[in-house]
Amino acid sequence: MARAPVAAEIEALPEADRLDEYPHPRETRALYGQEAAQAVFAEALASGRMHHAWLLAGPAGIGKATLAYQVARAALAQPDERDLFGQGLAIEPQSRTDRQVLALSHPSLLVVRRTYDPKTKRFSQIIPVDEVRRLKNFLALSAGEEGRRVVIVDSADDLNQNAANALLKSLEEPPGRTIFLLVTSAPGRLLATIRSRCRVITMEPLSASDLKRAAAQALTAVEKPLPDDVEWDKLLPLAGGSVGRALTLLGGGGLALQARIDQILGGLPKLDLRAVHGLADELQSPLQDAKFQLFMDLLQSSLGRLISAAATGEGAARDIELGRRLTGADGGAGRLATFAELWETLARDKADTVTLNLDRKSFILGSFARLEAASRG
């Protein structure tokens, strides 16, 4: 019989879908900037015409999982736990359903996600088929005459092929009053047959004001200071409307790391070897795993931003000027195609470095060497 972990187990084991020490999506009370998506679910619940499978799609860190847990609470709540008019997703704080969802102990809620191995102290890289097979026992349980069951998959992007096929079987023959909520940042990579059985809710990046409010909520919860105006001016363009990314940049020294990347890129086609070697030496240690991941993300984003600015003439003035200088786009197409291919090469090398645990220093030195060569034409 499927069994949800008790609260003590939740506290004892790390969670792959938790960002550092910040509140987990199920612990986050206010969701900013996604009112349209909330309204769709609220209307579906109130009307009684709730589709059995939903795909919550959009960039990482914009509130998709937070919305999934809000929907789960509202769907599982007893009538006297819901808001006064029963038209929204809010339920009574500290009600029985609220506490059970918070502890992942509600018998009608199943969360499918990457698992943690206490022996190796690592998370699985994918959601294996055994995790999805838990659905069989869970869906066999009776939800009661008026009760619902909710399955949250966070994220569906992590399903391997066998796991995706196993999930598809449940989506094809869903038991009554069961709601599947699939969180995804890359819906195009999911099986077409999974997408076809889901109603898609596309969620957009947050506006600057909503991102600030969402970040303030998370920072205040862990008693961290809020960014000042200067920090926000630097942070907002890098965050891309994602509160998760904004918090990662703040907590991982992302602004300082971006400044170092900008300095190296700004010096091209002359490569500052001392700066590159210093960065590579610093990020080589396995203890710097999170910072290395952030570096790779920032480098990839920076290169993509410069290529886009050079090609379209849109974006920050500095990006347009530097992008056109590096790619030779001032005189026409220049080396744009070369840089676009290099962006794809770096993306593949980045994935290989992580997956195969390759030498990080070699990746960093090689990446900047390629950028130097490309900028020289």
For residue range 174-188, what is the model confidence (pLDDT) as tens digits?
888 999 999 999 999
Tell me: do 189 and 85 sit in the same domain: yes
What is the per-residue pLDDT across 185-198, written as a single tens digit (0 to 9) for each? Answer: 999 999 999 999 99
Sign for the pseudo-dihedral over CA of 104, 107, 111, 117: positive
178, 202, 226 - which closes a domain? 202
Q: Is the pLDDT of residue 86 over 80?
A: no
- 254-267 vs 243-251: helix crossing angle, rounded to 10: 90
pLDDT at 77: 94
Cβ-in-10-Å burial (0-12, 13-18, 19+) of 343 comes to middle
Rounded Cα gap, residues 124 and 230, in angstroms: 38
pLDDT at 122: 85
202, 231, 266 - which closes a domain? 202
pLDDT at 4: 47
pLDDT at 10: 43
Tell me: do 16 and 159 sit in the same domain: yes
CATH of the domain at 61: 3.40.50.300
Phi, psi at residue 181, to the nearest 5°?
-120, 105
DSSP-derived letter for residue 82 is B
Give percent above pLDDT 90 in the chain.
77
Range(s) of the domain holding residue 195: 7-202
pLDDT at 142: 63
DSSP-derived letter for residue 83 is -
Q: Is the pLDDT of residue 209 over 80?
A: yes
Q: Is the pLDDT of residue 259 over 90?
A: yes
pLDDT at 144: 54
Cβ distance 200 to 53 under 8 Å? no
Tell me: do 284 and 180 sit in the same domain: no
Cβ distance 206 to 245 under 8 Å? no
Nearest-10 Cα torsion for 283, 60, 134, 5: 70
Q: Is residue 181 part of a domain?
A: yes
Q: How confident is the model at residue 332 (pLDDT cuts 50, 70, 90)?
A: low
Rounded Cα gap, residues 209 and 226, in angstroms: 14
Tell me: do 19 and 101 sit in the same domain: yes
pLDDT at 314: 93
Q: Report the Cα 299 to chain-centroid distance in Å.
A: 18
Q: Is residue 157 part of a domain?
A: yes
pTM comes to 0.88
Q: Is the pLDDT of residue 48 over 50?
A: yes
Tell me: do 190 and 261 sit in the same domain: no
What is the per-residue pLDDT across 6-32, written as a single tens digit (0 to 9) for each? Answer: 444 444 578 988 998 999 999 999 999
Q: Coil, strand or helix: which one is 207? A: coil
What ranges in the chain are assigned the alpha helix state H?
A: 7-12, 35-47, 64-76, 96-102, 129-140, 161-172, 192-196, 208-221, 229-239, 243-251, 254-267, 273-283, 289-312, 317-327, 336-355, 360-376
Tell me: do 165 and 25 sit in the same domain: yes
Tell me: do 132 and 42 sit in the same domain: yes
What is the per-residue pLDDT across 356-366, written as a single tens digit (0 to 9) for each? Answer: 888 999 999 99
Q: Is residue 216 part of a domain?
A: no
Phi, psi at residue 201, to the nearest 5°?
-110, 110
pLDDT at 8: 40
Nearest CA-CA partner of 152 in 43, 37, 89, 70: 70
pLDDT at 145: 47
* Angle at 294 (CA atoms; ends 303, 119), nearest 5 degrees: 145
Total domains in the fold of the chain:
2
Phi, psi at residue 33, to the nearest 5°?
80, 5
Q: Is residue 243 part of a domain?
A: no
What is the per-residue pLDDT across 145-163, written as a single tens digit (0 to 9) for each? Answer: 458 999 999 999 999 999 9
Cβ distance 133 to 121 under 8 Å? no
Tell me: do 166 and 306 sit in the same domain: no
Cβ distance 10 to 106 under 8 Å? no
Q: Is residue 222 part of a domain?
A: no
Tell me: do 144 and 256 sit in the same domain: no
Q: Which residue has the higher pLDDT, 144 or 239?
A: 239
pLDDT at 9: 42
Cβ distance 170 to 159 under 8 Å? no
pLDDT at 334: 72
Tell me: do 56 and 173 sit in the same domain: yes
Region 248-261 average pLDDT: 93
Tell me: do 198 and 256 sit in the same domain: no
Q: Is residue 244 part of a domain?
A: no
Q: Is residue 231 part of a domain?
A: no
- Provide the mean pLDDT of the chain: 91
Task: Give me 30's structure tokens.
Answer: 């206010």
177, 202, 227 - which closes a domain? 202
Nearest CA-CA partner of 37 in 156, 243, 203, 214: 203
Q: Which residue has the higher pLDDT, 329 or 242?
A: 242
Q: Output the CA–CA distances (angstroms, integers) from residue 4 to 7, 102, 110, in the order listed.
A: 9, 12, 7
Tell me: do 14 and 124 sit in the same domain: yes
Q: Is residue 39 part of a domain?
A: yes
Rounded Cα gap, residues 358 and 351, in angstroms: 10
Give percent above pLDDT 70 in the chain.
93
Q: Report the Cα 131 to chain-centroid distance in Å.
A: 20
Nearest CA-CA partner of 194 in 210, 208, 207, 183: 183
pLDDT at 329: 72
Rounded Cα gap, residues 369 and 377, in angstroms: 13
